[in-house]
C-alpha cells in the first residue's frame, strides 16, 4: 500500500496511490507499507530512487543500512513493535531522503508512525519538508522508546518487590517463582530489543549529522539532532542498567528457588537423622536371639519405646541448639 502526504491548509493530507500519476509533485512524504506486486516499481519510476527489499533492510552492515546513493540518503533503523504484548518484535524501517521528499519503506505498523500521522493531521508546522518530517519521526521514535523504558523500569521494580517480599519468602510457593522467572525473561527480551533499536537510531542520527545533510537543516533542526543524540546515549545507558538489574533479579530468583529446595532437602535429612537411632534400637530388639534377657522382662517393651523416643528427641534438640532448624 502506498500513501502520499502533502501539506494542505496547515494539515498533513493523505493521498492513496495506485499508479505513478497519483503521486503529487508537492508530496513531502511517501509511505510504502507492505509493498505488493509492482508497488516498489511505482515508487522507483515516480521518484527516481531505489526501494530496498526486505532482505536488504535486515542487513546488519552499517554500509548497507546507512549510505548515500545518487544524492539520496538511505537509512534503515529498527523500531520496537508490540511492546505491550507478550512477544515484542523489531521492525526494520527504511528512510530515504531525496531532495525535499521523505520516503519510508516498512512491513510493520509501529506506534510512532500512527502518532506522527495523528499529530500532523491536527496541526503541521509551517514549511514542513521531508527533512523536517524525518526529524519528527525520529524524535517520536526516541520518545516512544523512552516511554517503553519507563514502563519497563516500573515493571522491574514491581518484580523486585515480589521477589524480596517477606511473604514471598515464607510462602514457599514454587509456582510464584516460576511466574516471576517468566516475567523477567520477557522483561529481558524487551530490554534487549529496545537497546538494539536505540543503537540503530543512534547510528542513524549520527549519520544525518556527519554526512553533510545537517548543513541543509536550520538552527532549530541542528539543535534537535544534537538533543536526539544525547537522548539516545542516555537512554542506551539506562536500558543497559535495566538489563543488568534484570540479570541480578534472575540470579536472585534462582537463589530463592535453591534456598527453597535446600529447605525441603534439609527436612528430609533431619527426619532421617531423627529416626535413625530409633530404627537402630528397634532393629536390635527385633533380632529375637535366645540370649537376649530383655525379651523376657516385663519392662523390656516400655524401656525400648522410651529409648527410641529419647533417641529421636535427642538429635532434634541438638539441631535446635545448633540453630540448624
The answer, yes or no, to whether residue 256 has pLDDT greater than 80, is: no
Q: What integer is the mean pLDDT of 207-229?
A: 75
Co-location of 72 and 181 in the same domain: yes
Q: Is there a single domain that holds both residue 297 and residue 236?
A: no
C-alpha 199/C-alpha 66 separation (Å) is 13
pLDDT at 137 over 80: yes
* Mean pLDDT, residues 155-183: 72
d(CA 145, CA 106) in angstroms, rounded, equals 18
Residues 82, 231 within the same domain: yes
Given a cut of 50, whether residue 106 has pLDDT beyond it is yes
Placement of cell 539441631 in the chain: 319
In the predicted model, what is the mean pLDDT of residues 170-191?
Answer: 77
- More confident position, 91 or 123: 91
The total of other beta-carbon atoms located within 10 Å of residue 251's CB is: 10
pLDDT tens digits, one per residue of 230-252? 999 999 999 999 989 988 988 88
C-alpha cell at 159: 518484580
Does residue 93 carry a pLDDT above 80? Answer: yes
Q: Which residue has better confidence, 262 or 112?
A: 112
Would you place residue 174 in the very low, low, confident or very high pLDDT band (cuts 50, 70, 90)? low
CB 76 within 8 A of CB 57: yes
Domain shared by 276 and 234, yes or no: no
The enclosing domain of 283 has a CATH number of: 1.20.58.340
pLDDT for 253 equals 81
Are 272 and 150 members of one domain?
A: no
Are 25 and 154 within one domain? Answer: yes
| 234 and 299 co-located in one domain | no
pLDDT score, position 163: 78
Determine whether 103 is exposed, middle or buried from the number of CB atoms within 10 Å of its CB (0-12, 13-18, 19+): buried
What pLDDT is stored for residue 168 in this prediction? 45
Helices (DSSP H) in 100-129: which residue ranges? 111-122
Least confident of 116-120, 137-141, 174-178: 174-178
Let me know whether 112 and 172 are in one domain. Answer: yes
CATH of the domain at 149: 3.30.460.20
Percent above pLDDT 70 for the chain:
86
Residues 170 and 149 in one domain: yes
Burial (0-12, 13-18, 19+ Cβ within 10 Å), 291: exposed
Instruction: Verify that 54 and 71 share a domain, yes or no.
Output: yes
Contacts 24+ apart (CB under 8 A), 129-133: 129/28, 129/100, 129/101, 130/28, 130/29, 130/97, 130/98, 130/99, 130/100, 130/101, 130/102, 131/97, 131/100, 131/102, 131/213, 131/216, 131/217, 131/221, 132/221, 133/28, 133/29, 133/102
pLDDT 10s digits, 95-105: 888 878 888 88
pLDDT of residue 100: 81
Last residue of a domain, one of 231, 260, 289: 260
Residue 216 has pLDDT above 70, yes or no: no
Are the C-beta atoms of 30 and 51 separated by less than 8 Å?
no
- Residue 107's pLDDT band, with cuts at 50, 70 and 90, is confident
Under 8 Å between Cβ of 183 and 162: no
Domain count, the chain: 2
Predicted local distance difference test score (pLDDT) of residue 121: 76
Q: Which residue has the higher pLDDT, 77 or 64?
A: 77
Q: Which pLDDT score is estimated for 208?
A: 83
Residues 177 and 267 in one domain: no
* Domain interval for residue 140: 2-260
- Residue-wise pLDDT for 281-315, tens only, equals 777 767 666 666 766 667 777 777 787 788 778 77
Amino acid 99: pLDDT: 77
Residues 255 and 273 in one domain: no
Amino acid at each position: 500500500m502506498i500513501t502520499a502526504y502533502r501539506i494542505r491548509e496547515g494539515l498533513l493530507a493523505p493521498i492513496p496511490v495506485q499508479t505513478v500519476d497519483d503521486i503529487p509533485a508537492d508530496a513531502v512524504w511517501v509511505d510504502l507499507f507492505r509493498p505488493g506486486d509492482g508497488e516498489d516499481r511505482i515508487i522507483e519510476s515516480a521518484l527516481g530512487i531505489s526501494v530496498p527489499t526486505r532482505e536488504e533492510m535486515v542487513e546488519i552492515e552499517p554500509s548497507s543500512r546507512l549510505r548515500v546513493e545518487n544524492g539520496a540518503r538511505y537509512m534503515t533503523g529498527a523500531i520496537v513493535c508490540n511492546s505491550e504484548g507478550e512477544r515484542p518484535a523489531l521492525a526494520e524501517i527504511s528512510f530515504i531522503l531525496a531532495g525535499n521528499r521523505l520516503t519510508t519503506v516498512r512491513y510493520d505498523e509501529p506506534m510512532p508512525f500512527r502518532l506522527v500521522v495523528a499529530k500532523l493531521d491536527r496541526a503541521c508546522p509551517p514549511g514542513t519538508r521531508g527533512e523536517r518530517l524525518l526529524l519528527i519521526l525520529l524524535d517520536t521514535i526516541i520518545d516512544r522508546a523512552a516511554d517503553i523504558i519507563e514502563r519497563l523500569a516500573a515493571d522491574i521494580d514491581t518484580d523486585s518487590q515480589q521477589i524480596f517480599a517477606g511473604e514471598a519468602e515464607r510462602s514457599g510457593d514454587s509456582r510464584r517463582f516460576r511466574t516471576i522467572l517468566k516475567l523477567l525473561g520477557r522483561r529481558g527480551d524487551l530490554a534487549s530489543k529496545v537497546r538494539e533499536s536505540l543503537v540503530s537510531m543512534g547510528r542513524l542520527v549520527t549519520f544525518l549529522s556527519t554526512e553533510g545533510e545537517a548543513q541543509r537543516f536550520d538552527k532549530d533542526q541542528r539543535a534537535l539532532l544534537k538533543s536526539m543524540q544525547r537522548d539516545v546515549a542516555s537512554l542506551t545507558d539506562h536500558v543497559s542498567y535495566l538489563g543488568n538489574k534484570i540479570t541480578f533479579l534472575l540470579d536472585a530468583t534462582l537463589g530463592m528457588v535453591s534456598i527453597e529446595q535446600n529447605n525441603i532437602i534439609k527436612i528430609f535429612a533431619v527426619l532421617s537423622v531423627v529416626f535413625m537411632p530409633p530404627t537402630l534400637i528397634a532393629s536390635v530388639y527385633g533380632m529375637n536371639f535366645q540370649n537376649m534377657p530383655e525379651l523376657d522382662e516385663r519392662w523390656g517393651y516400655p524401656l525400648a519405646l522410651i529409648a527410641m523416643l529419647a533417641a529421636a528427641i535427642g538429635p532434634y534438640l541438638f539441631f535446635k541448639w545448633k540453630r540448624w532448624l
